[in-house]
A = this chain, B = another copy of it.
Amino acid sequence: MSFITKLRENNPLIHNITNIVVTNFTANGLLALGASPFMADAHEEVADVAAMSGAVLINIGTLNDHAIKAMLLAGQSANKHGVPVVLDPVGAGATAYRTEVTHRLVSELKITALRGNVAEVANVIGEKWSIKGVDAGAGDGDHVEVAQKAAKKLGCIAIVTGKEDIITDGNKTYIAANGHPILTKVTGTGCLLSSVVAAFLAVAGDSPLEAAAEALSFYGVAAEIAAAKTAEQGPGSFQIELLNQLSLLTPEEYGKLSRIREV
């Protein structure tokens, strides 16, 4: 796999309908990586933007009625034009409203990849998982099983992130073991990761599962290097260094450090 090279050559346009907390960090992360971010949620233009994009990212971190309609319009346009759609169900299960909206999105749209922690992904397919706020998910239970169930039920790539990250289409399953705990101390690192998955899917050709797996692994390696370079400096410095590493990490260096396996 070397989707990162293709990504940096093609600079795919990624249409993000995301939450108000992470817009800037997401745009900077995508630019650093080599993609071209486009944020738009006006009902008048989202179908146009989605149609011309390499992938669409839908993130429910801060919902409202206007955003939901924009997500549906953009998603339908993407589905119609064969553009991949990534869903990040932030906080699904934390409130009834988020659960309901998530269920509506997966029933009305064809999702290419779903990315969340285990509690969120479990909630999307109607399974119970204890959750506290939007940062939940570490806990017992079989994360691989939840991911595979979600992939089969929705006919999509399911990505469950945690200590190790699971990427599966229900038949084939990868585990990406890179990453660093300090990622949980910076807001939007999960949200940005979902946009990074979208960017890799935009250049995936007929290998979306492998592209998604490389997205997870590449992001994890960048985070590890950033954490090592900012050890003992704190989460502010890590956040900036993560952006740096998304830009600087070469395919060669990535290849050496990536710890990904099929299970």
Contacts and interface: CB of A to CB of B under 8 A. Distances in A.
Contacts of A64: 41-42, 66
Nearest to A16: B21
A39 B24 contact: no
A186 B31 contact: yes
Oligomer: number of copies: 3
A82 interface: no
Interface stretch (A102-110, A115-123, A231-239): A231-239
A89 to B, nearest CB: 14
B19 A21 contact: no
B186 A135 contact: no
Interface string A41-73: 110110011001000000001111110000000
B95 A45 contact: yes
Contacts of A44: 95, 97
Interface string A151-162: 000000000000
A39 B48 CA distance: 29
Contacts of A20: 20, 23, 39
A13 B188 contact: no
Given A64-B66, A66-B64, A97-B42, A21 B27 contact: yes
Interface in A217-263: 232-237, 239-245, 247-248
A240 B244 contact: no
B39 A239 contact: no
Given A39-B21, A45-B98, A234 B243 contact: yes
Interface of A: 13, 19-25, 27-28, 31-32, 36-42, 44-45, 48-49, 52, 61-66, 91, 94-98, 132-135, 184-188, 232-237, 239-245, 247-248
6 contacts: A28-B239, A32-B234, A32-B235, A45-B63, A48-B97, A235-B243
